[in-house]
Amino acid sequence: MIMEDILREIKKHEDKEKAKVLLRFFKTGKGEYGEGDVFLGIIVPEQRAIAREFKDISFSEAQKLLDSKIHEHRMIALMILIEKYKKADEAGKEKIFKLYLKNTKNINNWDLVDLSCPQIVGDFLLSRDRSILYSLAKSKNLWERRIAIISTFAFIRNDQFGDTFKIAEILLEDEHDLLHKAVGWMLREIGKRDEKKEKEFIAKHCTDMPRTMLRYSIERFPEKDRKRYLDLPSRKKKRLKI
């Protein structure tokens, strides 16, 4: 009955015109990174409101939403897991962490990753062994690689930068533009907290970094510094998968 209630509430917020826009925005065409994804056109604030209303659904019901082909169903499920995680004890947090990692095949677009993995994976690993992130960083699955780097946002917020730098080095060889953007973003976030350490990393790797990664990472630099880095010859020519 609860599942019927949540699906009924989701249906109230469907917007076909917005769905058309989202299909293009999230690259759902043949051969694109979001190929085959289905959208209902529900904006994020409405999804958050639905998640808060149904945050007490069971894990089995959350799993049904995660297994859905509909993007908003999966997003709402992740938002519900975040709500549950906030109030869980250590055993509960571990259960949600393991459930999350079991479902990486369903966390399969950048917004799903970015909204959820720092709050669950990153937070859970703050005081624990982080080797799982290095395994994810070497995965053949694009979204697992993105989870690896974006999860470190939780560490960055706690002034812990080492794992971000190490995973960034692994992903220097990655060919996908979505990983270049993600790494550049995390380096920029480090720079907001410790500009010296970010600049040391960039000085070491600037000629090896994919162009998009470099551009994102130096976005906050003064114009003359950005130009100096961008004018440096790259030692590598990478084929981007966009």
How is residue 181 annotated by DSSP?
A: H
User: How far is 173 from 164, CA to CA, in rounded Å?
Assistant: 15
What confidence tens digit (pLDDT) does each residue in 184-211 have? 999 999 999 999 999 999 999 999 999 9
Residue 37 CA to residue 123 CA, distance in Å, equals 28
- CA–CA distances in Å: residue 93 to residues 32, 53, 120, 145: 34, 20, 8, 22
Q: Structural domain boundaries of the chain? A: 1-124, 129-242
Asked if residues 50 and 6 have their Cβ atoms less than 8 Å apart, the reply is yes
Q: CATH assignment of 129-242?
A: 1.25.10.90
193-204 burial: b if 16+ Cβ within 10 Å, else e: eeeebbbebbee
Give the separation between CA 134 and CA 170, rounded to whole angstroms: 8
Geometric angle at alpha carbon 75, from 158 and 90, rounded to 5°: 45
Q: What is the pLDDT of residues 82-115, one digit of tens each?
A: 999 999 999 999 999 999 999 999 999 999 999 9
In this prediction, residues 122-133 reach a mean pLDDT of 97
Q: What share of the chain is helix, strand, coil (3-state, %, to 5)?
A: 65, 0, 35
% of the chain beyond a pLDDT of 90: 91
Q: Is the pLDDT score of 121 beyond 50?
A: yes
Tokens of 54: 């149904």
Task: State in words which class domain 1-124 has.
Answer: mainly alpha
- Sole residue written with tokens 């994976």: 121
* Mean pLDDT of the chain, nearest integer: 94
| Helix (H), strand (E), coil (C) string for 88-104 | CCHHHHHHHHHHHHHCC
